[in-house]
Amino acid sequence: MAQFIGSVQEFHHFIGPRIRNVINTAAASHRRALGGVCQDCGEVAELQSAHVHGHERRVLIEGVLADYTRRDGWIDCDLGEVERRIVEAHMPIEATFKFICHPCHVAYDAGTRVPRTRSTGNDGEFPRLSRIELWAGRPNQANHQIIRAFLHLENQGPVRLEALRNYCQGDLGIVGFDGKYASMKTDAGNSYGKVFFDEDGVVDIWPIVRREVQTYF
């Protein structure tokens, strides 16, 4: 087994690039599943992987390395074992990464947000609004189930994205939730159509869409 002995900074310098590639590979399938839909603004764009604040790569790596730090401050570890543990520390991927467009990535790192216009629908937005009635009659369709799940959770208070994801995947068995949810945040391309938006991890339905949901669901 390959052994590493050195400082934390040397680990980041010499081993860090490989760790970054391994993590990016692990995250790639989640990013592709979104179909290019930004998880923040809902627009279709080339997505970038952004570490969730508090779960930055260096933070997670150094959390693992702490278990291999000698009294003299040097890291002494088996590289294969440490790599496996660092990958595990990034799981589940959706808890450590946001897959967002470049403007949202810059804004997220700066602690701001890309401005979001909350339209009432009078300006030509929501062209797929009629799909709500269609989905209401298809209870086996994921779109229907995600909306129902949101309404169910909303009875208990504000709906956090993590709770919605867990309920849809765990209780309803919806496969590929992140991609389907992202497609219900935008009207771009071949998306399902704009239903949801989220801010600071709390999900809501656009007002004009909510009226349709209340009518047909």
Alpha helices in 56-206 (DSSP H): 57-65, 79-89, 93-96, 102-110, 131-136, 142-154, 161-166, 177-183
Mean pLDDT of 46-53: 89
My answer on whether 7 and 106 are in the same domain is yes
pLDDT class of 123 with cuts at 50, 70, 90: very low
Order across the sheet with 159-160: list the strands: 159-160, 202-205, 196-199
My answer on whether 106 and 26 are in the same domain is yes
Total number of domains constituting the chain: 2
Tokens 């009875």 sit at which residue?
155
Last residue of a domain, one of 78, 110, 142: 110
Between CA 46 and CA 66, with CA 23 as vertex, the angle to 5 degrees is: 140
At residue 115, the pLDDT reads 55
127-141 pLDDT, tens digit per residue, is 888 899 999 999 999
Burial degree of 200 (CB within 10 A; 0-12, 13-18, 19+): exposed
Model-level pTM greater than 0.75?
no
My answer on whether 105 and 35 are in the same domain is yes
Range scoring the smallest mean pLDDT among 93-102, 120-129, 152-161: 120-129
